[in-house]
Structure 1
Amino acid sequence: MSSNFREPLAEFVGTLVLVFFAVGSAVFGFDKIGAPGVALAFGFVLLALAYAIGPTSGCHVNPAVTLGVLLRKGMTVEKAVTYWVAQVLGGIVGAALLKLMVSSFGKVKDQTGGLGTNDWGTSISGPGAFVLEIVLTFLLVFVVLLVTGRAAAPGFAGLAIGLVLTVIHFVGIPLDGTSVNPARSLGPALFHGGTPLSHVWLFLLATLIGGALAALVVPLLEAPPAGADHGLTDPTGANVPSS
């Protein structure tokens, strides 16, 4: 199978899995596992995906991460666009499966009351959520870019990325549900509708700003690799193709 098809397919499947299983942990089980359990679910799912599809696509599964990689010249604009399309579609299909589960199979209940959507108003204001998502997404993309750089220790990136996503959710879930991923926010909002859909623009814009800021800061802090450029590696240590 051509890499031109394999890589976006991996991003589609990976984002679908992230939304269905990680967001699904809140939708189906928030009453049992609470915010800490959901945070761990996000971290564990991304950790597993990093090692599963990292060698294929780099396991971005997040348009903000792809933007960061693009700005760091780790991929072409054309490839980034295919990743964004695949990620958004994956998030939509994952959310469609969540909606199917809570609307078509008897006693399956939505424990979040909003299909796991992100929103503000109860615990944080709109401007507060905007700043929060920029900061949280900055941290995620900052870590991703540093631990997948050529100077990073190979083989451990997936662990670092999974752990930082867990910590991010510990902070964000009580405030706005935690986005840090435009595809994760858009899919559930489309199927739930209402206020979360009218507010989803904030989670799309703020997360992309956070990813872009991370790409600008990383060159100031990363260790220069001996005799190598600043390309990227996937979470298992293999080089991510740049085209």
Structure 2
Amino acid sequence: MSSPEIPPAPVPTTAAQLIAELAGTFLLVFGLVGTATFSAAFGDEVSNPLGVGFLGVAIALGLTVTIGAYAFGPISGGHFNPAVTLGLAAAGRFPWRATWTYIVAQLVGAFLGALAVFGLASGGPAGFLDAAVAGGFVSNGFGELSPGGFGLSSAIVIEVIITALFLFVILGVTHTRATAGFAPIAIGGTLTLLLLIAIPIDNASINPARSIATAIFGGGDWLAQVWVFIVFPIIGALIAGFSYKLLFDGTKPVVSKPVANR
């Protein structure tokens, strides 16, 4: 007696996938920018007893990506980042023809996430919003706009390196040979680690959608520098995507063992 056939899982519609990408990117930007705006330096400016600092901001982004990947990943794949979408396409894991729709959804989600934080900040005490905007609204920057005073070359190098590493991890933990169910944890943990390295250098982009959204509210000089955080995360992602198959996805022929004579 044959076992009953298991019906295939329903495939999400294109609209559902785009909404999931929008929602996941909203969560990412809202969590990151909200933590950096409201909690990073909360309390007394000298001793800062309640602020979460760089570590808290890095953990916040790692958590948002982990949560978003578990919640929305089954629907859209959980990219939430134009660089990730393009890197996956370069690796043959995502169709090039669908990249632009995902990127548009991510840009909209990122803008809405930053807008939500901006709206909340506008209800803060006198001068709170002005101070947040004057500080760039968590935008990325180099030179005088770098948290640690690092120059353009440092920003370029760090964005290429950390985005390439991030894509390598994503491609590795989502591979068919990887242990199922743990990819979001590894991806979120990787982001936390990479932000701890990069925040002092350029406020850590990795994600062009997040950088564009915050630069819109930061304005002026921050917008003038945002091209770096569009171009070089994408370059890092493409390097990882195009090289992944060459470096890690090779296969070798299976040599069958001879059957012993009986």
What is the TM-score when the length of structure 2 is the normalising length?
0.81
Aligned partners of 1:14 and 1:59 also within 8 Å: yes
Give the alignment partner of residue 101 of structure 2, picking from 68, 82, 86. 82
Cα distance in structure 2, aligned partners of 1:108 and 1:14: 31
Flag the 1:222–1:34 CA change in 2: closer, same or farther, 3 A: same
Cα distance in structure 1, aligned partners of 2:126 and 2:89: 44
Cα distance in structure 2, aligned partners of 1:14 and 1:53: 7
Provide the aligned C-alpha RMSD in A.
2.0
Whether 1:65 and 2:84 are equivalent positions in the alignment is yes
Deviations 1:218-243 (A, max 9, x none): 1133356899xxxxxxxxxxxxxxxx
Q: Which residue of 2 aligns with 1:154?
A: 180
Structure whose CA Rg is larger: 2
Q: Structure 2 stretches of 5 or more lacking a match?
A: 1-10, 42-50, 254-262
Which has the bigger relative contact order, CA under 8 A and spacing at least 6? 1
Aligned partners of 2:83 and 2:234 also within 8 Å: yes
- Which aligned runs of 4 or more in structure 1 are off by greater than 6 angstroms? none
Cα distance in structure 1, aligned partners of 2:82 and 2:65: 14
Q: Which residue of 2 aligns with 1:30?
A: 40
Cα distance in structure 2, aligned partners of 1:223 and 1:217: 9
Q: Which residue of 1 aligns with 2:190?
A: 164
Deviations 1:137-163 (A, max 9, x none): 111111111111112111111111001
Aligned partners of 1:15 and 1:87 also within 8 Å: yes
Whether 1:7 and 2:7 are equivalent positions in the alignment is no
Deviates more, 1:205-214 or 1:110-119: 110-119
Cα distance in structure 2, aligned partners of 1:2 and 1:149: 21
Q: CA deviation at 1:103?
A: 2.2
Whether 1:98 and 2:117 are equivalent positions in the alignment is yes
Whether 1:126 and 2:152 are equivalent positions in the alignment is yes
Q: CA deviation at 1:130?
A: 0.9
**3-state SS of 2:97 partner:** helix
Aligned partners of 1:11 and 1:90 also within 8 Å: yes
Give the fraction of aligned pairs with identical amino acids, expressed as a percent.
38
Question: How many matched pairs?
Answer: 227
Q: Which residue of 2 aligns with 1:109?
A: 128
Q: Structure 1 stretches of 5 or more lacking a match?
A: 228-243
Flag the 1:107–1:45 CA change in 2: closer, same or farther, 3 A: farther
